[in-house]
Structures are given as structure tokens and as C-alpha cells.
Chains A and B, each alone.
Chain A
Amino acid sequence: MSPTIALIGNPNTGKTTLFNALTGLSQQVGNYPGVTVERKQGRLRLAQGEVELLDLPGTYSLSARAPDEMITVDVLLGKQAGTARVDLVLAIADGSNLRRNLYLISQLLELKLPLVVALNMSDLAQARDIHIDAAALAGELGVPVVPVCAHRRQGIPELKQVLQTALGTGRPAAPLTSPQFLPALHEQAARLAALSAENGQPPLSSLEAWYLLVEEEGHPEQRLIAARGPQLASQLARLRRDTGIPAPLSAQVAQARYQWIDGLLARCVLQPTRLHTSRSDRLDRLLTHRLWGTLLFALITACGFQAIYRGAAPLMDWVDGFFGVLGQTLRQALPPGPLQSMLVDGVVAGVGGVLVFLPQIAILFLFIALLEDFGYMARAAFLMDRLLTFCGLSGKSFIPLVSSFACAVPGIMATRTIEDRRDRFTTILVAPLMSCSARLPVYTLFIAAFIPDRAVLGGWFGLQGLTLLAMYSLGVVLAVPIAWLLKKTLLTGETPPFLLELPSYKWPDPRTVFMRVYLNSRAFVVRAGGIILATTMAMWALAYFPRPEAVLARYEAQRQAAGQSSAGSKLEQAIGAIDEAEAAELLRGSYLGQAGGAIEPLVRPLGWDWSIGMAALASLPAREVVISVLGTIYSLGSAQDENSADLRHALAQATRADGTPLFTVPVALSIMVFFALCAQCISTLAVIQRETGAWQWALIAFAYLTGLAYAGSLAIYQLTGRLGW
């Protein structure tokens, strides 16, 4: 088995860049079981063979106050199930902020594992007039210190060499024995370890005992009290009192560590005596300004949306064209029947219809990765914190909500950065209200067909554009009271504290940005091949079967009759019409069609007939499905896409049983509002289940979104109908 190296460091120290520099494309991203902490692993080639490099989540400290912070500690102590024992710890430290980075290193030294320190951003440190004597630092810490410049790939061969040597000797780092480290505390920790061994329970290491004492109400304490009973709490309280150190212990220990760090810095680092004003600070005077910063933020976001919608269009046409040709080829190559229909209408039309959005996904992640690597996202979260505080959330919810405008799935995954569980769940539950890219084709189709192309507001805006804007705003406007309500009822808790580091601005590293786009695009494609393929298959089967022999025979007879009475292009036209009528009748008789009939009374108040109700039902796996289903229903076949003038025309021509037009402006608005608010997306519900770890949250999301969609749709239909639109 190859040895394992764990990479650890503070956030924003270039850890991801170093990880990419060391492992390249050989990375695997997964989850630790039970918690939603990303587990990233890659292979690192050293002189004497390959080793596994495990990228631990960025952290300021090893003290765990939440289950997901516990993962790091458990991995390092070799207690994490399914993860190999760590043979060596590689700590990355930001040279321009060595003081804070040494805090984590002071904790890593206590692990008694071999340790190597990569000193990153030496160029930024130099620019700030900070001069670090790496050799002296190595001497003080007793472990190798290697200066690197991860984004320029400098110092990487030297680092690999040192890692190889350190793995070879396997000598653990010497723990700190300096007197500041509170000997009284160590004494009581040893007592605690001895006590736990006496009772015949699994023994605590002296380090575990030490953290148990120091971290009042931390996660290790809660976990152990749950396992061993409440008498442990009083035992801990007594031992803490016996140290004779004034409470809170964690504050004393933090101060002791920083005193040790200050002594060390004085011996190894030359730095300016005054607080430094950096280029980042000057840029922040504009970018975090309440007025100018907010305006610039709006401008940057607008450019991002423009890039996602406009920039992706040619690429999406290309993907769309590819699947069109593929479907056509399959239709010609295979004999008509269930297999052909399954491949063409199910796989190609269904999964292809989802993969069309790959360019949008890639551009969205490119945009987010660039802003994040530049260091801007923390500033945007700062600016938006005020608005989010209003609904009981914090600035940390901002990035997930913005991502949800492209797709709620990555948006919900991005909530992993929110520490507080209630805030995280509230953000997850309102994320589907942001109009994702799958809703755009639905809006486009109905706006183009039913909203008059008229200039309003003195000719500055078109009515169609304003309707689109209204649909996008609807979810945002509703998200505010809903988040507020969730925080007041199901997820009660005070407005969370907000603590965010504003990292220095830097030029984005192309490889880090590329890896982000690549990994996320790959995950999207994998998902399309999994859950979306499966649900599409199920929907196709419901819409295809049963095919009663009697119906098939009747249309076959009609075709025969047409063949005898006409010829040439007229015959082709007649056969085409018969085929379409057959498809429509088969669909009405299908299991899905029968269900549509059953739900009609439910959707009639919304101004819908059975066919719209059925299309909405069929779009449960993905919203876009509504378009292809409506296309089939209006005897046009499902080959029509949303830009087709024919489908628009057919929608305008469709009539109810009494001959009045089916689609009117109120009906179109009713459908758009429904799709703006509904939960018609299996992937979103599945990701809610996965990220919250419980089905009930997915059910709650489905229930409230569907209820909201129905109410909104009913309100807009009844209101506009009474206004006589």
C-alpha cells in the first residue's frame, strides 16, 4: 500500500493551487460518510514511487466545535473509518501572514506525526517587506520548511525531495515543550487519560484528553458525554478547576500559543513595525464601499449573467445540433418500435436535453472560480450580508444563492461553507426559488407566444423583456419572507454571527480555475447519465405504454386507405397527419395520459386543461420536459424545440372542447408562474436529500414549493382573468 500524506492549511493560503501542482489531473472528489465534507484525494509521484495526497478542508485550527470539523482531527489521528492512516502531514503556511498560520502548525506539532511545512506566497511576503529566514524557522520548529511559490510552480521539485526524505526517515515532529504551554493543563490531561483507562473503556490518548479539557463544550466533549454518560461532564469540570488556570481555558491556550508564535517570529522574521496598508486594502476602499462597491457588484453580476446566457448560446446550439443528428441517425438506423423510441425519445431527447446546458454550467463555474480565486467572493458576501441579515441569514448564504441561478444542484452543494446547520438548511430550502437555467426555455416559449412585443416605460423596455425580468424577480422576492418564516418556525435560531476573512486579491491561477470548471462539468455529465437518465426512462415508459392493438390497427387501416386514395406529396402529408394523430391518441391513452385525466379537476382552477396538467406532471424529473411533452400533445411530435415557431403557432391554435382558445395571456402567465416556483426537478430534490442527510427535508421542499407554485399560479390566473387580459 502506498503511503498517505495529508495536506492541511488555513483557507486562502493557496492550498488548492499546491494540491493541483502536486497531483495534476489525478484527483478524486467524494464525501466522507455521514457528513457533507468534501474528500479530495490525488496521486503524487515522488522519486521512489507514488503516494496518496489527501487534501483536508481548509481550517484555522484543529479544535472541533462541529461534526464536520471533527473529520480533520479524526483523519489525522487515524480514527476516520475508510481512510488510511496518515504517514506524514504537509502543512502549507502563507508567508505574508505567518503569525496566524503558525497557530495551526503549533497544533500540528503536537500530533507526533512527521511534519513538513511548505512556506507559500514568499513573493507576496517580499512585496510587503516581510523577510523570513526559512532555515531559522525550520530550526525553531524542528521540522523541514520549504519555501514554495505554488502559483508559479516554484519550489515544487525541492518540496517533493523533502517529502521523500521525510517519508523515508518517518521521524515524528518533536512536540512543543515550551513553558507557555501550561504544564498544569498537561498534568490534568494525563490524569484524565489515566482515569479513562481505569474504567475499562477505550483509552484516550494524552492529546485527546488535552483537547477535551481545553475545548469547553466542543464537539469531542459532546461526543464523549453521549457515549459515556453525564458523569463525564462533572469530571471534566473538576479537572478544569484543578488546573488553577482562569476560565475560559481555550482563551488562555490561544493566548499562550500566540505568545509562543510572537517569540518565534521575533527570532526568524523581519517585518515592518507599523501595520501595513497593502494594494488589496486600497482596492477594497472601492470594492467594499457601500455605494460604489454595491454598484460594481451589480455590474459584475450582470456581466456574469450576460456571459452565461449569451456566451453559451453558440455552444448550446452546437450540442443541440449534435443530439439532433444523433437522434435522426438512430431513427433511421433502427426499426420503429420500443427500442427506437426509447433511444430516440428517451435517451437522446431526455438526457441530450439536459446536456445542452453543459456550456452554461461550464461558464457559470468559470465565472465563480475566477471571482473566488481573485478573492472577490468574500467581498461580495460582505456587501450582501446586510440584506441576508434581514431574513435571518448571513453573507455566507450569498454564493450558494447566486450559483442557484444557473442550477440549484451546485448551489445547494455550495452551502457546505455555511457552518451553522439551521442557516445551511434554510439556504438549501430557498435555493430552488432562484430561477435556474432550466426555466429559461419555458419562459422564452410562452413569452414569445403570448406576450405582445410592445415597448413600455417610454420605449426603454419591451413588455416581453419586462415579463422575463418579473419571472426572475418573483423567486427572489418570495425567498426573503420564506427564509424569514423558516428561521422563525422549522429552523429557529438567532441571526448567526458572521466572521469572514477577506483574503488578499491575487491574479487567478489558470490551472486551479480550469480544475474547478473541469471537475464540476464532469460531475454534471455524470449526473445526467445517472439520475436524469433513469427518471427520463421511467417517464418515457409511462408515456409510451400501453399501446393498445386496436388503436394501432385502426391507424394502420387509415394509412392503407390513404395510400389507395392519394399519391406523391399529398400522400406524404396525409400519412404525416395520421402519424401525429396516432401519437397523440396513444399518449392520451398512456399511463401518463390517464393520470393527466385524473388530475384535471385539480388543475382546472389554474386555467389549465388535462394536457397542460399532464405536461407539468411529466416534467417532474426536469422542467424542460414540459416543452417536449406539449409538442407531442399538439400533434407535432416531440422533435420541436422551444425556438420553434411551429410549436408557438400550435399553442396559439389549440382550443378547448367548446372551441375557445386554450392558451390566453392569463393561462400563459399561470404556467410561467407555476414553473418559476415549482419543485419540478428530481436532481434538486435528490441533492437536498443528500446534503441534509434526510428525506424529510426533500419532502418539505417539494411540498412547500409545489404549494407555493399552485397558489401563485391560481392567484395570477384569477387576478388577470378578472382584469380581462
Chain B
Amino acid sequence: MRLPGPPYLPSLSALSQWPVGVDGVISAVPGTSRLFCRLREMGVVPGMRIRVLRTGASLVVQVEESRLCLRRRDAAPILVSSHPAGAAPGAPH
């Protein structure tokens, strides 16, 4: 699963494990629960840039221009990857 990237950055990981202050790109938002449908409507979809602003039992994340707060446990299924060089935001994966 390892994608090329700086060695100190995880290349693909759960949002709940993503380090604070590092920019990544959302690569999967699975699930049909009400929460995940709402997250997708609010712009948490593959291809969007994401940054974790605060971590703890609840996370504060920046997704493009939105700041959202969600529980770390709920964030676990969301996958984030390192910013692929040259890929434009919103490009299909």
C-alpha cells in the first residue's frame, strides 16, 4: 500500500491516525450511515485536501475551506494519503 513520499510521512492512513498540521488528500470515505452521507455532502469526498488542526477524543479538521469537528472513532474509516505531486484537488482517484 506504500505510495512514494517523504519517509517521515505516512503515505496512506486512517484520518484518526493522521498527524496534526500535515496536509493530505482524502482518498476514501466509505459507509452509508447518516454521518458519512452528511460528511460527503459537506465536502469530505475523495480528492479534497485535508489537514488535522487538533487531535484528541474529537478531531478538528480542515477540509478545503471548511473546519469540521468529529469524533476520532467516527473518523477512523476515512482514509487520507500524502499529497500526490502534481495532482489537482478534486481529481478523481
Residues of A within 8 A of B (CB): 60-61, 63, 65, 96-100, 103, 128, 215-217, 247-248, 250-251, 254-255, 258-259, 261-262, 274-276, 280-281, 284, 288, 290, 378, 382, 385-386, 389, 395, 497-504
Contacts and interface: CB of A to CB of B under 8 A. Distances in A.
B60 A254 contact: no
A276 B29 CA distance: 23
Interface residues of B, number: 42
Given A250-B37, A275-B62, A281-B62, A501 B71 contact: no
Contact of B46 (A60, A217, A255, A498): A255
Contacts of A502: 60, 67-69
28 contacts: A65-B37, A96-B65, A98-B65, A99-B64, A100-B65, A216-B32, A251-B36, A254-B37, A258-B43, A259-B47, A259-B90, A262-B88, A276-B65, A280-B67, A284-B60, A378-B69, A385-B58, A385-B71, A389-B71, A497-B70, A498-B58, A498-B69, A499-B35, A499-B68, A499-B69, A499-B74, A500-B68, A501-B66
Nearest to B91: A262
A498 B74 contact: yes
Interface string B53-92: 1101110101011111111001000000000000011101
B68 A501 contact: yes
Given A275-B62, A499-B35, A382 B40 contact: no
Max count, chain B CB within 10 A of own CB: residue among A97, A98, A378: A97
B15 interface: no
Interface of B: 23, 29-43, 45-49, 51, 53-54, 56-58, 60, 62, 64-71, 74, 88-90, 92
B23 A103 contact: no
Given A65-B37, A250-B32, A497-B74, A386 B69 contact: no
A250 B60 contact: no
A379 to B, nearest CB: 9
A217 B90 contact: no
B74 A100 contact: no
A250 B42 CA distance: 13
Which of B46, B58, B89 gathers most chain A CB within 10 Å? B58
Contact of A63 (B37, B39, B66): B37
Given A99-B43, A251-B29, A258-B48, A497 B69 contact: no
Contact of B56 (A65, A248, A276, A290): A290
A278 to B, nearest CB: 9
Contact of A103 (B30, B41, B53, B62): B41
Contacts of A216: 32
A97 B35 CA distance: 21
Contacts of A99: 43, 64-65
Given A275-B62, A497-B35, A500-B68, A259 B92 contact: yes
A100 B42 contact: yes
A65 B69 contact: no
B34 A65 contact: yes
B43 A103 contact: yes
Nearest to A94: B65
B60 A97 contact: no
A99 B29 CA distance: 18
A501 B42 contact: yes
Given A251-B30, A389-B71, A498-B71, 14 more contacts: A60-B42, A65-B38, A99-B65, A248-B31, A254-B41, A255-B45, A255-B92, A288-B54, A290-B56, A382-B60, A395-B58, A498-B70, A501-B66, A502-B60
Contacts of A386: 57-58
B58 A382 contact: yes
Contacts of A63: 37, 41
Given A258-B45, A262-B89, A275-B23, A97 B40 contact: no
Nearest to B74: A497
A262 B92 CA distance: 11
A103 B41 CA distance: 7
Given A259-B90, A382-B60, A498-B58, A100 B70 contact: no
A276 B74 CA distance: 25
B32 A217 contact: yes
Contacts of A247: 32
B69 A500 contact: yes
Contacts of B30: 251
B33 to A, nearest CB: 8
Nearest to B37: A250
A281 B68 CA distance: 12
Contacts of B40: 250-251, 254-255
Going nearest first, the 3 A-B pairs with the smallest beta carbon separation are A262-B90, A254-B40, A497-B35
Q: Which of B29, B30, B60, B65 has the most CB of A within 10 A?
A: B65
Contacts of B31: 248
Contacts of A497: 33-35, 70-71, 74
A389 B69 CA distance: 14
A60 B45 CA distance: 14
A280 B60 CA distance: 13
Contacts of A261: 90
Contacts of B90: 258-259, 261-262
B14 to A, nearest CB: 16
Nearest to A273: B89
Nearest to B50: A275
Contacts of B65: 96-100, 128, 276
A248 B32 contact: yes
A502 B53 CA distance: 12
A271 to B, nearest CB: 8
B41 to A, nearest CB: 4
A547 B21 CA distance: 78
A274 B21 CA distance: 13
A92 to B, nearest CB: 16
Contacts of B68: 499-502
Nearest to B51: A275
| Most chain A Cβ neighbours within 10 Å, of B31, B43, B54 | B43
Given A386-B57, A500-B69, A501-B68, A275 B49 contact: yes
A61 B41 CA distance: 7
Contacts of B92: 255, 259
A430 to B, nearest CB: 21
A364 to B, nearest CB: 25
A216 B56 CA distance: 32
A284 to B, nearest CB: 7
Contacts of B57: 385-386, 389
Given A251-B29, A499-B70, A60 B60 contact: no
A357 B45 CA distance: 49
Contacts of A501: 42, 66-69
A83 B10 CA distance: 54
B61 to A, nearest CB: 10
A100 B47 CA distance: 14
Contacts of B64: 97, 99-100, 275
B39 to A, nearest CB: 7
A288 B46 CA distance: 27
A495 to B, nearest CB: 8
Contacts of B33: 497
Contacts of B62: 275, 281
A503 B42 CA distance: 13
